[in-house]
Structure 1
């Protein structure tokens, strides 16, 4: 097929482009080569170099109609990855995140709804962030979906979620696709709207929609300089510079970290598999890993003897726990992740060592959040 990948020079997109091309598809990549992601010389970035000579590359933004109309010409499938992706940054750059994530998706669908085209399927990158806090089991066996944690509780060092009216501890369980959607950040809200736009509009205009709720994606090639990328690359870069690691909250907050190659394989199924049509899927490992475990594992693999300090700092908009129920994607698409956390983080660490530390504005990004009242 002819496949358009928006954001296709990014961390996930560049690997997806290579994998789809390897399978015989003809790939067009649309990417604006954002400096925050690709650095101040974006045409030397790993993602751009990976796609420049093997795809039809278009430099441009998903918010420009003429660019999008040009990119969509002759395409049979679209994988819509282009988005602003920093949870913390989204809490104060609200217009930017809404314009790109919601506006870009709206423009894509508006063009498909109002012009002649050849697109048969749209795959959208959704996110675990749309769930907000994950799913829990109450002592009576019922499932509950706790609301956002209060600033007062977290100031007091009480970081675990609470559910009004429930006596006794809550048991964290896997979050399935039928779980409550209640995002706690602007980023999460924009991903929810992206997903709902695609899954509502596409079937109404005769296009198959597919949404993947990616968990915390990591792996070689993830930007070491972008201060709003995942904590594994942020921690790796800090450790290689000999800087201390500031662990937020108490270090026991957990996420489902999924290796980028597994995300790519799941997304290929979203492009090709008939059973993916008009379905929403989690993409993760189904295993929660604490931030403290991440820090100590990276310290061991990078042989970095740096202080790992639990500060009790917290960011408004962050969640406590969430990990994916992987039953649906396994049953419908036959997807099983090939990498567990230890296998994936070993590959990330080896790549980070070879790449070396990079200049980053991570500390400045935290200070910006403090000034905005979002970092405590």
Structure 2
């Protein structure tokens, strides 16, 4: 098939492109080579871009440009729409940029599909676990509940676990696709909007739509330059620079870390299988890993001892816990993650050890949030 990947020079996109080419598909990539991800001289120095250079039809452009979309859509049969501004924290103070790229960029694509001539049969959109906000919990009094966003007042007292009115202790469980959608960040809102627009518009014009709600994706090739997203990369750069790691809250907040090869495999199932059409799927491992475990595991893998400070600081818009229920993607598409966190982490840290040490710019991102009153 002829497949367009927007954001195809990014972490997920470049890995997906190479696997699709290996399977005999023809790939076009539309990407703006954002300096935040690729550095200041991407065509010469970005490993992600260089990995696909001369293997794909590359269009340097933006999803906010109708002309770039028109050029990219020519003769395509499938669109994998990955291009987006990412980063929960940054989205809370660069609101317009996130809306322009994530929402308006997607609406431009859909406008052209509805009103233009094209050969597109399927659109696969990258959604996110961030659309759920806080994950799913069980209360012995109330059954399944979905706590609201945590307040600064409670977190200032060191009360980081979510609470729910009328419920005593809450038990964290896996979040399934039917769980409540209540994002707690602008990023999450834009991902929800992308997903809903694609799943609403495409079927009305005979185009199959598939949405993947990715959990925290990691692995070799992840940008080590971006201080706004990717906890494994951020911590790795801090450790490699010999800097201490500042752990937010009490360090027991958890995420579902899913290895890049598993994400690519799931996405290809969505592209190639008709059973995926017009469905939403979680993509993760189904296992929650807390942030202290992440920091200690990285430090151990690098054999570099740095101070790990559990600070009680927090970011407004962050969630406490979320991990994926995989029953739907397993039963419908036959997907099973192949990499445990420890296996994936070893592959990731082995790769980081081959890379130049990047400047640690994380404090700059924290200072930006602090100045806006979003970091406490």
What is the TM-score with the length of structure 1 in the denominator? Answer: 0.99
Structure 1 position 356, deviation (Å): 3.2
Distance 1:222 1:229 in 2: 10
Counterpart residue number, 2:5: 5
Does the Cα contact within 8 Å between 2:134 and 2:148 map onto a contact in 1?
A: yes
Does the Cα contact within 8 Å between 1:224 and 1:360 map onto a contact in 2?
A: no
Counterpart residue number, 2:235: 235
Counterpart residue number, 1:150: 151
Q: Please state whether the residue corresponding to 2:226 is helix, strand or coil.
A: coil
Task: Please tell me whether residue 59 in structure 1 is matched to residue 60 in structure 2.
Answer: yes
Query: C-alpha deviations, 1:73-118, integer Å up to 9, x for none?
Result: 0000000000000110000000000000000000000000001110
Distance 2:356 2:304 in 1: 13
Distance 1:361 1:340 in 2: 29
Distance 1:141 1:283 in 2: 28
Counterpart residue number, 1:14: 14
Counterpart residue number, 2:34: 34
What is the TM-score with the length of structure 2 in the denominator? Answer: 0.99
Distance 2:7 2:314 in 1: 30
Distance 1:283 1:81 in 2: 14
Task: Please tell me whether residue 114 in structure 1 is matched to residue 123 in structure 2.
Answer: no
Does the Cα contact within 8 Å between 1:240 and 1:356 map onto a contact in 2?
A: no
Task: Please tell me whether residue 249 in structure 1 is matched to residue 249 in structure 2.
Answer: yes
Counterpart residue number, 2:357: 357
Query: C-alpha deviations, 1:1-28, integer Å up to 9, x for none?
Result: 0000000000000000000000000000
Does the Cα contact within 8 Å between 1:223 and 1:229 map onto a contact in 2?
A: no
Does the Cα contact within 8 Å between 2:270 and 2:276 map onto a contact in 1?
A: yes
Long gaps (5+) in structure 2:
none
Alignment of 1:151-170 (within 5 A): 151-166=152-167, 168-170=168-170
Counterpart residue number, 2:329: 329
Does the Cα contact within 8 Å between 1:77 and 1:271 map onto a contact in 2?
A: yes
Distance 2:217 2:358 in 1: 20
Counterpart residue number, 1:140: 141
Query: C-alpha deviations, 1:158-217, integer Å up to 9, x for none?
Result: 000000121x20000000000000000000000000000000000011100000000000
Query: C-alpha deviations, 1:304-331, integer Å up to 9, x for none?
Result: 1100000000000000000000000000
Counterpart residue number, 2:100: 99
Does the Cα contact within 8 Å between 2:209 and 2:278 map onto a contact in 1?
A: yes
Distance 1:212 1:277 in 2: 11
Counterpart residue number, 2:202: 202
Q: Which is worse superposed, 145-154 or 224-233?
A: 224-233
Query: C-alpha deviations, 1:269-296, integer Å up to 9, x for none?
Result: 1110110000000000000000000000
Distance 1:55 1:107 in 2: 23
Distance 2:185 2:152 in 1: 14
Q: What is the total number of aligned residue pairs between the two structures?
A: 375
Structure 1 position 357, deviation (Å): 1.6
Moved over 3 A (4+): none
Structure 1 position 354, deviation (Å): 1.0
Long gaps (5+) in structure 1:
none
Distance 1:263 1:362 in 2: 26
Distance 2:190 2:232 in 1: 24
Distance 1:356 1:173 in 2: 40
Task: Please tell me whether residue 24 in structure 1 is matched to residue 17 in structure 2.
Answer: no
- For the aligned residue pairs, the C-alpha RMSD in angstroms reads 0.7
